[in-house]
Structure 1
């Protein structure tokens, strides 16, 4: 577990660029809403370059709040990172505006897609590349259409009339328009048919093969672990368990609480499992 993170300056500042990519590092982050409601407590984790890392946990565990903190969009909800640090490739990103975070290569696809439903598919995509030159936008647009071959035939269709799966493709494509190096996805399978979910996750795996890092928040633990390299489990704003995707998939506790693979009907709190007691430093 990370207990501290480098602080090499801020995006857009005068700090020297690191010789090699360091990826995302969240160190001892504590997040409050309205200055007194603690949503995330002292969490630390990393997303190395070119890997898929998943955050697992039930509703209210703090997963989406964590993504918002990384993206710099807590302020509209009166949220604040009160301690700890968030760095990307060695530079602090918790002290800069959201648009600077995007220009630094970190982009979020929020839960619920959040498209401009009165704009066409192509107009939505072009909005995602608004900070790039016209030539770059056109080139990136073609890459998005290659990534999601179902979209070109709908390029002039109003996005509000698309199916949920098509809208999710547009939402991911819009994020890709800024050419990120870290893509964060918040519940990409939510409300989608299994066949569509499979195609979305195939695209996510392909992004990793293109050397993009992915931070995935997903309640479908089996699905998330099937594509991830590493995973963290959050409960009540704290990370209570972590390990490689294979280790988590084989863990009896993860199988019982998140994969539904235990025949016993008795449900226990993670804090009462001996394996978690050995990690009580996360629960203090």
Structure 2
């Protein structure tokens, strides 16, 4: 069955990826995601923002089909790629459809070299295609090329993140999902990685779903964003709209009245978020 649904947030064509009213439970008891709907148009970079534990990673796992590893399950709602349901498919089948996730924490094969990790990402492709993809990764991340023969477990955190993204790109994704790519990295390294992601999106047209706690960083590169709290989408809009929202400024950008606040002021700010009223 093909679901042809035009999303009013992105007029003109059905989204590449669409979640409609998705509910996820762990152990059939703990509700992690409730009634989540979001759309990812082809060729765009979409940000999913929220604090730790808000449900961001659960949404990515639901899309990738790996919830079962943590006794999670989609209890209701649908996930569709190009109008076709993918809920219930095996993770390998979802990967073959072009959805590739870079997990939080990178999850490299620590005993393999950087280049061997890349080759694992392109294992389903021909030798020629794999070689071309590896050259593309090395062009995108010259540091990885320099370290390609080093054991992945001994690389720096930033180098490991570059390898993890490169491994995902080896599979030629149509939709790249990134889970907290800035986590634990130095600002200069984060800039390098996000410049590469933005270049990839703009020059190659790879669609990106970006999960981030760093709202400022995500809003700098994305075109549209969703904010999730306590497992529910509480706000969405273009990055320009989100930047102007008083609650987003106050609780996610650390600003009030266009001026940056101290972390102490943000921590002790007591006004109730309007979207929770």
Find the residue that maps to 1:180 and give its secondary structure: coil
The alpha carbon displacement at 1:206 in A equals 0.9
Q: Is 1:240 matched up with 2:234?
A: yes
Residue 213 of structure 1 corresponds to: 207
Residue 9 of structure 2 corresponds to: none
The alpha carbon displacement at 1:7 in A equals 3.5
Q: Distance in 1 between matches of 2:118 and 2:136?
A: 11
Deviation readout 1:243-263 (Å, 9 max, x if unpaired) = 101111121110101111135
2:152 and 2:160 in contact (8 A); partners too: yes
1:257 and 1:267 in contact (8 A); partners too: no
Q: Distance in 2 between matches of 1:249 and 1:214?
A: 20
The alpha carbon displacement at 1:276 in A equals 5.4
TM-score, structure 2 as length reference: 0.90
Deviation readout 1:201-242 (Å, 9 max, x if unpaired) = 001111211111100110000000010000000010000000
Find the residue that maps to 2:131 and give its secondary structure: helix
Residue 255 of structure 1 corresponds to: 249
Residue 95 of structure 1 corresponds to: 88
1:26 and 1:87 in contact (8 A); partners too: yes
2:182 and 2:190 in contact (8 A); partners too: yes
Q: How does 1:36-51 map to 2 (within 5 A)?
A: 36-51=29-44
1:241 and 1:276 in contact (8 A); partners too: no
Q: Is 1:187 matched up with 2:180?
A: yes
Residue 10 of structure 2 corresponds to: none
Residue 269 of structure 2 corresponds to: 266
Q: Distance in 1 between matches of 2:272 and 2:34?
A: 18
Deviation readout 1:160-203 (Å, 9 max, x if unpaired) = 11111110000000000000011000000000000000011001
Residue 8 of structure 2 corresponds to: none
Q: Is 1:26 matched up with 2:22?
A: no
CA-based RMSD:
1.6
Deviation readout 1:13-69 (Å, 9 max, x if unpaired) = xxxxxxx87411011100000011110000000010011111111111100000000
Q: How many residues of Structure 1 are paired with residues of Structure 2 in the alignment?
A: 259
Structure 2: gaps spanning 5 or more residues:
5-12
Residue 160 of structure 2 corresponds to: 167
Runs of 4+ in 1 over 4 A off after TM superposition: none
The alpha carbon displacement at 1:144 in A equals 0.9
Q: Distance in 2 between matches of 1:267 and 1:245?
A: 25
2:51 and 2:213 in contact (8 A); partners too: yes
